[in-house]
Chain A
């Protein structure tokens, strides 16, 4: 009887260990500090979501290998959101009520927004580490971002295009969803305010595959730059534009900073300008370490700059927990918020300095890349 129970316990242990996955290596003696992560691990966005999760696991393991948070192991609980708000709401409630986490990291605008009322109500700190919708700054006292919102890179890009590249007439094409509309509007406003003229402003359906009409409409306005604020369909839009013989300068934002674009477009990608919000391995040796860890996974990750923020947001969590623990406070969402505002300035391994501002926004240098000989080459840095 006892033996069989013993065996069952033994069997269930590896599973449990898998679930909490990272950590526990060194700091077994002290109670674990837990935090929650709401990520799409299924659905159309899971390609990025799963790589975020993987990176958190790496970062948590790294922290625990170095002794954890004041000797406490850090432990992460991941729940799937499918990047859908209604699923995220339930998952957030489970993390807060069942698992009692004081802090949740998350991404994807609709998920951040859906979880915000719960965070505010239950006084649980919610950190956005990947969504860039401008509304995120106004979601309440318990929602902060450690990722620069859209205005940071789009503003820099629009100003740069007008002032440095000397482009006066811009056509703006965008995917008709949250990301596309938000980004395109900022671009239009900034470009117009700088003195340029927006000659076409067209959104296309997220499910569209034929962009001929939109592109021709843009061409009629005779632009000298076309800004495309799209997502995974971005390569197709560019391909069709080049196939139609439109040779204008193309710009995009951080979604375009993706090696897949180079292989899908080949020579057609030449001259494309995109943004990135994180330094490369050449500029920051820590990034090389992250890439090394990914080599063990056996493939190149999706959206490396985002993953740098993913890693750093884990470090932010550890520092917050460290501050709360050092000050002898109970680990609650309220104290986590207090810690975030008390620390204010974080020096982070992958993305450099982070300053939390009272308006819930952050500033970051913007790296502009241009495609040259089928490679992304650093064009300029806008600080």
Chain B
């Protein structure tokens, strides 16, 4: 069942995105919503290198991660002194601005995107092989984030989230910590982008817009912000739910809006019934 492998890929990619976003917004308390642009940078870099050069795909994906990290550090250095809600909006400007650039440049394919990303793995087992690679990467990313947050570094990051001033006055360098978690989280998003580009073989700017930001944010909050397992559950539910709805036998001309209504109503219900997320506890998300 290639279809299941495909759904699995999507879940895996979103787990990487949600878990790394949770690192930034949930543990670090840095209110940015620009996560999809790093996803995009990873995807576009990998795709453009894959199309234009003969470099092995692994190198292309690594380059994608590199570009995402560099861009995230650039964003961090310029904007991390901006506080709270303003940071949210500055990140939005960064995301929409870069996306507009991608949209207007010729070499990125403009609004029509890149559709000729080379095939890397062929044969009937392609989907499952990809899923295996993806699963390994998911485990690695989630494990690394968990390790980092369970140890002394994570403790300092949570302290920063709870009270920046007090944390700095105890000798912790906020800027360093912010840049590090930002770079790591965005690098992971770049990895997700590389995977996405090579597996789905088509990318276009509209896949990385604000709607995508909202999706990833909803995954994190719905699952439980600032928890280890929350983003995983959130990503799983939000990818699997619409898929499950397509299996309901709805009349074809109504299927779209009905799916949308069912989905949004369920999300609202979750928000009210489980306000701290599906796995969250009382204190988990207090920072915001």
Same assembly? yes
**Chain B nearest CB, measured from A181 CB (Å):** 6
Q: Is A93 an interface residue (CB 8 A)?
A: yes
Q: Is A16 an interface residue (CB 8 A)?
A: yes
B3/A85 in contact, CB under 8 A: no
B206/A84 in contact, CB under 8 A: yes
Q: Is B253 an interface residue (CB 8 A)?
A: yes
Q: Is B113 an interface residue (CB 8 A)?
A: yes
CA distance A41 to B256 in the complex (A): 5
Q: Which of A21, A93, A110 has a CB less than 8 Å from the CB of B3?
A: A93
Residues of A within 8 A of B1 (CB): 97-98
Q: Which of B2, B116, B204 has a CB less than 8 Å from the CB of A85?
A: B204
B207/A181 in contact, CB under 8 A: no
Q: Which of A74-82, A190-198, A226-234, A285-293 makes up part of the contact surface?
A: A74-82
Closest 10 CB pairs of A and B: A42-B256, A41-B256, A97-B3, A117-B201, A113-B115, A80-B256, A178-B112, A78-B252, A114-B202, A93-B6
Q: With A41-B252, A42-B256 in contact, do A85 and B113 touch (Cβ < 8 Å)?
A: yes
Q: Is A217 an interface residue (CB 8 A)?
A: no
B interface list, Cβ under 8 A from A: 1-4, 6-7, 10, 103-104, 110-113, 115-117, 119, 122, 126, 200-204, 206-207, 243, 246, 249-257, 259-260
A interface list, Cβ under 8 A from B: 12, 15-16, 18-19, 21, 40-43, 46, 50, 53-54, 57, 76, 78-80, 82, 84-86, 89-91, 93-94, 96-98, 109-110, 113-114, 116-117, 121-122, 133, 135, 138-139, 176-178, 181-182
Residues of B within 8 A of A86 (CB): 200, 207
Residues of B within 8 A of A18 (CB): 249, 251
Residues of A within 8 A of B207 (CB): 84-86
**Chain A nearest CB, measured from B238 CB (Å):** 13
Residues of B within 8 A of A97 (CB): 1-4, 6
Residues of A within 8 A of B259 (CB): 42, 80
B250/A121 in contact, CB under 8 A: no
Residues of B within 8 A of A98 (CB): 1, 3
Residues of B within 8 A of A41 (CB): 252-257
Q: Which of B112, B122, B243, B257 has a CB less than 8 Å from the CB of A182?
A: B112
| Smallest CB gap from B121: residue in A | A121
B2/A178 in contact, CB under 8 A: no
Q: Which of A54, A113, A139, A182 has a CB less than 8 Å from the CB of B253?
A: A54
B200/A53 in contact, CB under 8 A: no
B256/A40 in contact, CB under 8 A: yes
Residues of A within 8 A of B254 (CB): 41
CA distance A122 to B122 in the complex (A): 10
B3/A96 in contact, CB under 8 A: yes
Residues of A within 8 A of B3 (CB): 93-94, 96-98
B2/A93 in contact, CB under 8 A: yes
CA distance A380 to B116 in the complex (A): 38
B250/A135 in contact, CB under 8 A: no
**Chain A nearest CB, measured from B235 CB (Å):** 14
A43/B256 in contact, CB under 8 A: yes
26 contacts between A and B (CB under 8 A): A19-B249, A19-B250, A40-B256, A43-B256, A46-B257, A53-B253, A84-B206, A85-B202, A85-B207, A90-B6, A90-B10, A91-B246, A93-B2, A93-B3, A94-B243, A109-B112, A110-B202, A113-B204, A114-B200, A117-B119, A117-B200, A117-B201, A133-B112, A176-B104, A177-B111, A178-B111
Q: With A53-B253, A98-B1, A122-B2 in contact, do A135 and B103 touch (Cβ < 8 Å)?
A: no
**Chain A nearest CB, measured from B10 CB (Å):** 7
Residues of B within 8 A of A78 (CB): 252, 255
